[in-house]
Amino acid sequence: MGCRRRKICVGIVMSEFVPVAMRDEVPPGARKLIDFDAVSVVLFNIGGDFYCIEDVCTHDGGPVGEGDIEGCSIECPRHGARFDLRDGSVLSMPAVVPIPTYQVKLDGNQVFIESPDDW
Ligand code: FES
């Protein structure tokens, strides 16, 4: 089997994108946990738009990806910090540092994310 990775030019920086799911595998309202060598990330489908965040709360290291979704935000199940899924920004305490986010690209039915292993 050939290489499954593809490079997409973003400005003058080459970011590597990796396939993580088929679009219909993550329908609106669903999420998918993806483990990489260095980190775990969570892919969300919010009303047909895909977002991807690191699965570690910046407050105390909890698995934020399991939290409740409201609109485009997620609430950490451990202490209730809320983050914007679109850019990882903090919406409520006790967290004060944004969560890393990863660009998502769609190609047909395939969903790609910016490779966390390249960071
Ligand atoms: S670990 Fe997420 S709010 Fe504390």
Domain at 104, CATH number: 2.102.10.10
- How much is the pTM? 0.86
Q: How far apart are CA 26 and CA 17, in angstroms?
A: 18
Higher pLDDT, 19 or 1: 19
The residue among 57, 50, 69 whose CA lies nearest residue 96 is 57
pLDDT at 83 over 50: yes
**115, containing H or E segment:** none
Structural domain count of the chain: 1
Would you state the pLDDT for residue 7?
Answer: 45
Domain around 89? 6-118
Atom of ligand 1 nearest to the CA of 94: 3
Token pair 């935000």 is at which residue?
73
Section 57-64 average pLDDT: 96
pLDDT at 4 over 90: no
Mean pLDDT score across all residues of the chain = 89
Section 34-54 average pLDDT: 95
Phi-psi region of 4 (alpha: psi -120 to 50; beta: other; left: phi over 0): alpha
Would you state the pLDDT for residue 12?
Answer: 45
A 10 A CB-CB count for 103 gives: 15
Take atom 4 of ligand 1 and give the residue whose Cα is closest: 79
Q: Is residue 84 part of a domain?
A: yes
Least confident range of 9-13, 39-43, 48-52, 97-101: 9-13
Would you state the pLDDT for residue 116?
Answer: 81
Atom of ligand 1 nearest to the CA of 95: 3
Q: Is residue 1 part of a domain?
A: no
Would you state the pLDDT for residue 37?
Answer: 85
How many A from CA of 56 to the centre of ligand 1? Answer: 9
Q: Is residue 69 part of a domain?
A: yes
Section 95-117 average pLDDT: 94
